[in-house]
Structure 1
Amino acid sequence: MTGQHDAGTGKPDATAPEEQAFDLAEVEALFLNASRDGQADLVQEFVAAGLSPDLSNEKGHSALILATYNGHLEATKVLLDAGATIDLRDAKGATALAGVAFKGEIEIARMLLEAGAQVDAANEVGRTPLMFAVMFGRLDMAKLLIEAGANPTLRDGEGRDARDIAVALGSEPMQDLLGNGTAR
């Protein structure tokens, strides 16, 4: 036992709860888990206690990327309000907006865009959030991104633009949305 002692005998109090100490790495892991799990109240407590809202795991997934990718609107709001860097990139160069474009989280994408997310932020292989929306059949997301100014003519590292991807996947609705590659 650490800490509490019986007042009469001075010996450790066997009925007292064990004190639990966490090292910084454990606290950081708990914060990232709370972000990933959407526990907005805990996320708020961690940032209020001084943890950086930009804290990232070994894969470069920041608290914001974890919260957004897992569809947690309230945790996302807490992190943005705490000053999380909106376009912080993971180890593969992806931003939070790219993750929500892939997952189809429209409300979170709106929140990120309103907070200033770069609509055309490309990852390390040149893929933009719009390309992810097209690749995963997220038509409403693609519409939102185009309305927000996404450039459908940008090309990835393989030389393909969003329409090329839609054609390769045989997605007529996406092809219609993207038109001749100049949709804006």
Structure 2
Amino acid sequence: MNEDTQPQPTAAEDEAVIALATTMLEAARSGDAATLLSLVDQGAPVNLRDGGGNSALMLAAYHGHSELVRELAARGGDVDLANDRGQSPLAGVAFKGTVEVARTLLAAGADPHRGTPSALETARYFERTEIIALLEQTPPAEG
């Protein structure tokens, strides 16, 4: 089948997908790990993004939900997936000043030098001294 002959989703199917995405992204914002992780474990996309390109992991990180960030990363959530503005989850955390979430992202392999501005640049701009110290311990990724 080519793209022109594949069945197109119905309006009801489109609405169901939108409802699922809304539920997942709201669960990420509010820290509702039970709901979000259950959906991911059932096959929902872990790197689902909102209209601004913010992934569930980005939203969980930005709103300070460290354990949820850890669990999303363990399920394949991309800790460096930038939003449409080029900001990484770690840069969002540097802006907010949430040290615990910064540690969680770094432990999961987040690169403080990715994104525009990078997490390190963001932390410096907002004078997040504890986060700067953490980020400066992480060398730039090769490649």
Query: TM-score, normalization: structure 2?
Result: 0.83
CA distance in 1, matches of 2:103, 2:70: 12
Does 2:78 align with 1:85? yes
Asked if the contact 2:82/2:115 (under 8 Å) is kept, the reply is no
CA distance in 1, matches of 2:118, 2:48: 23
CA RMSD for the aligned pairs?
A: 1.3
Secondary structure of 1:101's counterpart equals helix
Does 2:17 align with 1:27? no
How do residues 123-138 of structure 1 correspond to structure 2 at under 5 angstroms? 123=116, 127-138=117-128
Does 2:43 align with 1:53? no
The correspondence for 1:104, drawn from 97, 109, 118, is 97
Structure 2: which amino acid aligns with 1:72?
Answer: H
Asked if the contact 2:33/2:68 (under 8 Å) is kept, the reply is yes
CA distance in 1, matches of 2:67, 2:109: 18
User: Identity across aligned pairs (percent)?
Assistant: 36
Asked if the contact 1:43/1:78 (under 8 Å) is kept, the reply is no
**What is the CA deviation profile of residues 41-65 of structure 1, one whole-angstrom value per residue up to 9, with x for unaligned ones?**
1111110121111000000000000
Residue of structure 2 equivalent to 1:139 = 129
**What is the CA deviation profile of residues 102-131 of structure 1, one whole-angstrom value per residue up to 9, with x for unaligned ones?**
1111111111112111120031xxx21111
**What is the CA deviation profile of residues 33-82 of structure 1, one whole-angstrom value per residue up to 9, with x for unaligned ones?**
00111111111111012111100000000000000000001211221111
Does 2:63 align with 1:70? yes
Is there any run of 5+ residues in structure 2 with no aligned partner, and where?
1-14
CA distance in 1, matches of 2:73, 2:122: 23
Could you list the runs of 4 or more consecutive aligned residues of structure 1 that deviate by over 2 angstroms after TM superposition? Answer: none
Larger Rg: 1
More helix by share: 2
Asked if the contact 1:56/1:63 (under 8 Å) is kept, the reply is yes
Asked if the contact 2:70/2:105 (under 8 Å) is kept, the reply is no
Asked if the contact 2:120/2:135 (under 8 Å) is kept, the reply is yes
CA distance in 2, matches of 1:68, 1:36: 8
Residue of structure 1 equivalent to 2:12 = none
Structure 2: which amino acid aligns with 1:64?
Answer: L
